[in-house]
Amino acid sequence: MNINLDFLEEEIVGKSVPVATSGQTSGHAAGEPFDVLVFEEIRCQYPGQTFRQYEYLNKLFEENLSATTIDGRNQLISPEAIKLLLARGNSATRSWSVESKFDEKQNDTADIIVDKDEFLNLLDVKTYDEEKKGQAPNIISAYKIASMCKEMIESNNYSSHDFTYIQVDWKKEGDSLEATSLWISELFKSDPEELYINWAAAMQIQFHVSALGQDYRGDIREWCLGFIRTFVSSAQGRVTTMEEKFVEPFQALLN
């Protein structure tokens, strides 16, 4: 039920965007125009179905103005697993109005949402200077994914959404940045027991999209159980590390 994004490589690779005038070209922000470009190409292919996360929520709330309470508004974001991923905080949800809609928020779950055939494609775009890739980036909170998996298992609903990640590499060419490669990976096609959770970095799952294995053969229920197994054992490992590294060596000084 995932949308087809094969067209992206041809549309994006080779395209150029101007370098920001005040800009560091090294930072994360430099590749931002490619995120915009990817959004526009997808919206062009799936018109009326492609949104920024805040646009998706604004549309839902605007089409259901009779929902005015936090609960009433949050129930529009369904099923529960989607609500857990996309809902804003209580105070923001309460104070939403047609005159004061949601705006972009840095820690929103998805850069792009394609809402097609009652299925949400949650897309995230990562852009890189091809010469400076460095450490695998933050993808999403492992706790958020574990909570989502728990909800999906408990409600036995595995067909509401998926996660797709798009990586655009670029290089600087004079006053432009040129896209040199594009990768697409799906979270549920990667082996959940291979995912790396960085507890010190806000419990984020971290990977390079271009390096994410795509040969997992289990179904989504199996993926969810596998992820929870990874999450629990990784949390237990972190607890042990914390005791050995942050408690014991220092406790000795207090006696």
Binding site for a second copy (CB under 8 A): 20-23, 143, 146, 150, 153, 199-203, 225, 228-229, 231-232, 235-236, 238-239, 242-243, 245-247, 249-251, 253-254
Residue nearer to a second copy on the CB measure, 43 or 144 = 144
Q: In whole angstroms, give the CA distance from residue 249 to residue 241.
A: 12
Q: In whole angstroms, give the CA distance from residue 157 to residue 55.
A: 25
- Distance between alpha carbon 123 and the CA centroid of its chain, in Å? 6
Minimum gap (Å) between residue 243 Cβ and a second copy: 6
Minimum gap (Å) between residue 187 Cβ and a second copy: 18
Residue nearer to a second copy on the CB measure, 92 or 228 = 228
**Residue 27: CB partners within 8 Å, gap ≥ 6?**
none
Q: In whole angstroms, give the CA distance from residue 7 to residue 106.
A: 27
**Encoded amino acid at 168, one letter:** V
Residue pair 158/183 in contact by the 8 Å Cβ criterion: no
Residue nearer to a second copy on the CB measure, 13 or 228 = 228
Residue pair 155/163 in contact by the 8 Å Cβ criterion: no
Place of tokens 């857990």: 84
Minimum gap (Å) between residue 143 Cβ and a second copy: 7
Backbone φ, ψ for residue 103 (5° rounding)? -120, 170
Minimum gap (Å) between residue 235 Cβ and a second copy: 4
Residue nearer to a second copy on the CB measure, 59 or 229 = 229
Q: In whole angstroms, give the CA distance from residue 226 to residue 211.
A: 20
Residue nearer to a second copy on the CB measure, 10 or 243 = 243
Minimum gap (Å) between residue 242 Cβ and a second copy: 5
Residue nearer to a second copy on the CB measure, 68 or 233 = 233
Minimum gap (Å) between residue 232 Cβ and a second copy: 5
